[in-house]
């Protein structure tokens, strides 16, 4: 769309069919949780959505001129951008690496690859590839693990700032059970993380996450330092891993015999609660499940990674419909995961739920990937939906991106079936355009 860039004088209007969430489809009847406009208009000014609704009604209120991106009659659907709640940008070069389970995979592939991020120029190159690929697959916000090197964080936030993307990221803290080239100390982890927080947190659209890799790679002293940072900067995030693999859980019990379990290790050091994001969470005990619920800690399902590494199957039904529901997000978890595409992640999410006897319909699935993901990160009032006041991070989906999908769509009876077809058959080719903070940041072709 040649005229799709907003300017300071006129608002930008995206016109066409749009879909967004108005409520949580796990808490209300799912058909009451979304809004679909077959001919809608989304008005954007200064990076924010200022109005959205039926096109005729909305455009009647615009007395001045506007720039128009017209997606009518083109089998396109405007939606909120996808939210990826747990991903490792330094692992792109080991994406799709063969075999093994978690702990061996870390040592064989991940720890080797991450040593290259001592070179800030290299880190910038990979960060740029990661962010542009994210835009290409329709992901506009991610919670990102960098490496132990502070320069890997500088590189990531610098590249994200160029693209004006809302990103959460942090320096990995890891002072044991890793190669010397990838370890810091309790003190350096504290000092480096503090300096990065003071420079980057809330700078533009950047948000910082204190990032102990996972309990086994941090000493008691380092976890205490992370907890001290959390007390000092109460509005930053914490992100790590929890209960991904049964051997990992046994290792944690051996390393921290004084704690009741894996979750209790993090709890002991003040690292759970609001704005605390834990990837995987497959093998939580009943007590851990209850405590995650009570503290408002966020769990993140990583379906392609958990299948690829043979870690287990996340319990979506219990997480969202049980008596102790959890804040739940979705993630690609690259490079343990096999794709940065949230559409492909939704495909595997559906299958994981099916394997546990729970059918996850399209409305609930897309909620997890958009507004639900935003809410799990404490950003539901900022991103994740098409509503006045939200930041204009949006995608335009091509609902007929391949000949087979074109044929299949001709047999869809409503928007719910159409969305299900997209999440089971579509891939990156379905993302026609991505808007970031109200500006066109990617357009296919």
Confidence band for 102, pLDDT divided at 50, 70 and 90: confident
Domain co-membership, 17 together with 99: no
The model's pLDDT over 121-135, given as tens digits with 9 standing for 90+, comes to 999 999 999 999 999
Domain co-membership, 60 together with 91: no
Domain CATH code at residue 397: 2.30.40.10
Whether 444 contacts 433, CB under 8 Å: yes
pLDDT at 98: 87
Confidence band for 4, pLDDT divided at 50, 70 and 90: very low
Whether the predicted pLDDT of 426 surpasses 90: yes
Whether 9 contacts 26, CB under 8 Å: no
Domain co-membership, 184 together with 58: no
Domain co-membership, 20 together with 134: no
Q: Which spans in 269-322 are helix H?
A: 286-295, 303-308, 316-321
Greater model confidence, 162 or 103? 162
Domain CATH code at residue 209: 3.20.20.140
Domain co-membership, 97 together with 52: no
Whether the predicted pLDDT of 9 surpasses 90: no
Cα 223 from Cα 153, distance rounded (Å): 20
Domain co-membership, 222 together with 329: yes
pLDDT at 106: 87
Lowest mean pLDDT segment, chosen from 90-99, 265-274, 278-287, 402-411: 90-99
What predicted TM-score, i.e. pTM, was given to this entire model? 0.96
Domain co-membership, 111 together with 210: yes
Q: Which residues contact 229 (CB under 8 A, 6 or more apart)?
A: 190, 193, 194, 197, 210, 236
Cα 200 from Cα 153, distance rounded (Å): 9
Domain co-membership, 114 together with 176: yes
Whether the predicted pLDDT of 7 surpasses 70: no
Domain co-membership, 298 together with 407: no
Cα 92 from Cα 160, distance rounded (Å): 16
Domain co-membership, 110 together with 234: yes
Query: What length is written for the chain?
Result: 445
- Residue 114 falls within a domain, yes or no? yes
Confidence band for 176, pLDDT divided at 50, 70 and 90: very high
- Residue 369 falls within a domain, yes or no? no
Whether 145 contacts 126, CB under 8 Å: no
Q: How many domains does the chain have?
A: 2
Confidence band for 101, pLDDT divided at 50, 70 and 90: confident
Whether the predicted pLDDT of 440 surpasses 90: yes
The model's pLDDT over 338-386, given as tens digits with 9 standing for 90+, comes to 999 999 999 999 999 999 999 999 999 999 999 999 999 999 999 999 9
Confidence band for 97, pLDDT divided at 50, 70 and 90: confident
pLDDT at 219: 98
Q: What angle do CA 311, 107, 175 make, to 5 degrees?
A: 105
Whether the predicted pLDDT of 8 surpasses 60: no
pLDDT at 3: 43
Last residue of a domain, one of 340, 373, 407: 340
pLDDT at 397: 98
pLDDT at 6: 44
- Residue 367 falls within a domain, yes or no? no
The model's pLDDT over 251-264, given as tens digits with 9 standing for 90+, comes to 999 999 999 999 99
Domain co-membership, 416 together with 273: no
- Residue 152 falls within a domain, yes or no? yes
Rounded mean pLDDT, 72-90: 96
- Residue 356 falls within a domain, yes or no? no
Domain co-membership, 234 together with 317: yes
Domain around 109: 82-340
What's the mean pLDDT when you consider all of the chain? 96
Three-state secondary structure readout of 161-178: HHHCCCEEEECEECCCCC
- Residue 361 falls within a domain, yes or no? no
- Residue 108 falls within a domain, yes or no? yes
* Sign, CA torsion 355/321/285/91: positive
- Residue 290 falls within a domain, yes or no? yes
Cα 9 from Cα 363, distance rounded (Å): 37
pLDDT at 200: 98
């Amino acid at each position: 769309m040649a005229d799709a860039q907003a300017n300071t004088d006129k608002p930008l209007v995206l016109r066409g069919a749009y879909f967004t969430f108005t409520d949580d489809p796990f808490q209300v009847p799912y058909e009451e949780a979304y809004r679909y406009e077959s001919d809608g208009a989304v008005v954007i000014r200064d990076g924010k959505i200022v109005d959205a609704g039926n096109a005729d009604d909305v455009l009647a209120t615009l007395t001045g001129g506007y720039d128009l991106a017209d997606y009518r009659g083109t089998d396109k659907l405007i939606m909120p951008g996808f939210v990826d709640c747990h991903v490792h940008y330094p692992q792109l070069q080991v994406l799709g690496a063969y075999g093994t389970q978690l702990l061996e995979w870390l040592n064989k592939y991940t720890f080797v690859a991450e040593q290259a991020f001592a070179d800030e120029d290299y880190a910038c190159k990979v960060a740029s590839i990661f962010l542009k690929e994210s835009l290409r697959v329709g992901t506009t916000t991610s919670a990102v693990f960098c490496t132990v090197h502070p320069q890997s964080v500088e590189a990531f936030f610098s590249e994200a700032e160029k693209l004006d993307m809302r990103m959460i990221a942090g320096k990995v803290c890891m002072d044991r059970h890793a190669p010397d080239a990838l370890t810091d100390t309790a003190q350096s982890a504290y000092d480096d993380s503090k300096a990065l927080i003071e420079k980057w947190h809330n700078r533009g659209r950047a948000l910082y996450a204190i990032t102990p890799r996972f309990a086994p790679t941090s000493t008691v002293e380092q976890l205490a330092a992370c907890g001290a940072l959390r007390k000092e900067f109460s509005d930053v995030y914490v992100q790590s891993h929890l209960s991904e693999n049964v051997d990992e859980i046994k290792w944690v019990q051996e390393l921290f015999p004084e704690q009741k379990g894996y979750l209790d290790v993090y709890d002991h050091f003040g690292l759970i609660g609001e704005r605390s994001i834990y990837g995987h969470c497959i093998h939580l005990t009943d007590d851990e499940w209850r405590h995650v619920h009570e503290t408002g800690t966020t769990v993140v399902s990583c379906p392609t990674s958990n299948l690829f590494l043979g870690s287990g199957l996340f319990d979506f039904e219990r997480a969202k419909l049980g008596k102790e529901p959890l804040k739940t997000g979705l993630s690609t978890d690259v490079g343990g995961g096999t794709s940065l595409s949230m559409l492909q992640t939704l495909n595997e999410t559906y299958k994981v739920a099916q394997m546990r006897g729970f059918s996850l319909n399209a409305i609930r699935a897309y909620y997890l990937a958009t507004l639900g993901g935003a809410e799990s990160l404490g950003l539901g009032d900022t991103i994740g939906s098409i509503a006045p006041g939200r930041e204009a991070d949006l995608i335009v989906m091509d609902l007929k991106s391949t000949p087979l999908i074109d044929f299949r769509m001709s047999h869809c009876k409503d928007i719910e079936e159409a969305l299900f077809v997209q999440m089971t058959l579509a891939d990156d080719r379905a993302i026609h355009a991505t808007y970031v903070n109200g500006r066109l940041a990617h357009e296919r072709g």
